[in-house]
Chain A
Amino acid sequence: MLIHAYVDGELDLLSTVKLEAHLRDCTPCAQAHKNLQTLRSGISSGALYFKAPNHLAGRVHLALQEADHAGASSSASVQEMSRRMPSQRLPKRMWWQFSWAWAGVAAALAMAALVVWRLDPGVSRRSQNELLAQEVLSSHVRSLMANHLTDVPSSDQHTVKPWFNGKLDFSPPVKDLGAEGFPLVGGRLDYLDDRPVAALVYQRRKHFINLFIWPSDSGSGQKTVMRQGYNLFHWTQSSMSYWAVSDLNSSELQEFVHLVQNHTRGAP
């Protein structure tokens, strides 16, 4: 039994020393120890871990929300509630499903972020910008990861621009820069800075560029950030806030930014 406590790291120091000495001398015990290690490495290899089905998170979330509502209005039994929950019902937006492994960590971080955000009124514009940069970068990475780069895949600016009609309360300037070596790949709706934004996707060789656009009257000027190997450019022009982000090298992205700036200068 001591061997078990030993492999579990639950043995005190003195007993550990004694046991290790004993294991050196006693062949049967040494063999038992070895067997135990074999067994443990097999069990804890992850092969036995039952992965929760993808829909479970959404299902539990929905049940909790419903129980919460029911709890507020009536005192319906929580157990009852769960029985009545059809297992197929899923929430509309299933970004929960996206990945629980990360969402778990994310939730903890979100809590921390929120506390900082809410509790510290002195959070400067600068750090808000930092957070926004992080948000922009995350959107970019997510767009590449989730295989959801574009909602409207088209290199035709006259297809992409009208597509945003009715989806946004502004009309983003869309310009194909294929002639300049940055072909338009398409457009996508995204959500940044607490509002829906336009995301235009451009390509340079194998690199994708996300150009996020939304109206903003605050702030001006330009800003360059390098994060985790990604380059981010931010500027404000004609009351629009722009963020360009890509893994493209800084000078080429700069070139792209200039092109966009030139094209949008006179544009509506």
Chain B
Amino acid sequence: MNIPEQAFIFGAGIKRTQNRSYIVGGKDGRLAEPKMVERFEEAMLPHLAAAYNLARWLTRNGPDAEDLVQDAYLRALKAFDGFRGDNGRAWLLRIVRNTCYTWLQENRVQELATAFDEEVHATEDGSTNPETLLLRSADKQFLNEALERLPLEFREVIVLRELEGLSYKEIAELAGIPVGTVMSRLARARERLQELLTLSVKEP
């Protein structure tokens, strides 16, 4: 069906507006201005997909990711007063990331430790077979497994760069690391991914 996208979006927008004015009006006129929580939702709920995707990749687990996204949103709501920037997505993702890291520290300590080990053990390998790579890069399952097996810090930069399309600078701010580190981490993450994709044999 041919959908007039503009119309629909605009319409949905109005629907939202109505919903809001309804809520505000219905609450014994306590507040004339849109409530903070509503401003927050308008600004941040659009980034829910990105928040979930990041949490899902960091935790490698759906239900945990859901819980953490919810936690992150609640944290973000508390901090929303201090949000002045224009990059709501990066701001929210930073909170999601922190929430996930806290959770990982409490529940998956060994994961954080492994990240270190693997970084040391990572080998540079120039002998990537292009054909195999081409084949497996197109295979969702191979890709998924390879990325899941990447150490946390590598996985994270790949997700932020390749799936969310964030710039080095945004990633640097988000993860609290220098831009140079983002670049080197990303380079190593990709090399590692190529290795995993071309060298690994799927376990039966």
Contacts and interface: CB of A to CB of B under 8 A. Distances in A.
Interface in A83-129: 85, 87, 95, 98, 100-114, 117
A245 to B, nearest CB: 10
Contact of A109 (B13, B128, B161, B187): B13
Interface residues of B, number: 78
A39 interface: yes
B69 to A, nearest CB: 7
A226 B170 CA distance: 44
Given A107-B16, A108-B42, A4 B186 contact: yes
A110 B18 CA distance: 9
A8 B11 contact: no
A117 B10 CA distance: 14
A216 interface: no
B17 interface: yes
B57 interface: yes
Contacts of B147: 43, 48
B37 interface: yes
Provide the main secondary structure of the chain A interface.
Answer: helix
Contact of A39 (B12, B21, B167, B194): B194
A170 interface: no
Contacts of A168: none
Given A4-B187, A39-B137, A114 B4 contact: no
Interface residues of A, number: 75
A41 interface: yes
A145 interface: yes
A225 B134 CA distance: 52
A67 B77 contact: yes
Contacts of B70: 56, 59-60, 63, 82, 85
A106 B9 contact: yes
Contact of B52 (A50, A135, A138): A50
Given A35-B128, A38-B134, A50 B14 contact: no
A87 B186 contact: no
Contact of A48 (B16, B40, B140): B140
B198 to A, nearest CB: 9
Interface stretch (A14-22, A26-34, A155-163, A256-264): A26-34
A107 B66 contact: no
B183 A1 contact: yes
Interface stretch (A176-184, A227-235, A236-244): A227-235
A131 interface: yes
Nearest to A247: B2
A190 B7 CA distance: 17
Interface in B138-183: 138, 140, 143-144, 147, 158, 161-163, 165, 167-168, 183
18 contacts: A1-B187, A4-B190, A8-B167, A43-B158, A43-B162, A50-B56, A52-B48, A60-B69, A78-B77, A82-B70, A87-B66, A107-B45, A110-B13, A110-B17, A112-B13, A135-B14, A194-B22, A229-B4
Interface of A: 1, 4-5, 8, 10, 28, 31-32, 34-36, 38-44, 47-53, 56-57, 59-61, 63-65, 67-68, 78-79, 81-82, 85, 87, 95, 98, 100-114, 117, 131, 134-135, 137-139, 141-142, 144-145, 191, 194, 227-230
Given A105-B46, A109-B10, A113-B13, 9 more contacts: A4-B186, A28-B126, A64-B73, A64-B77, A78-B77, A111-B42, A134-B10, A138-B11, A194-B18
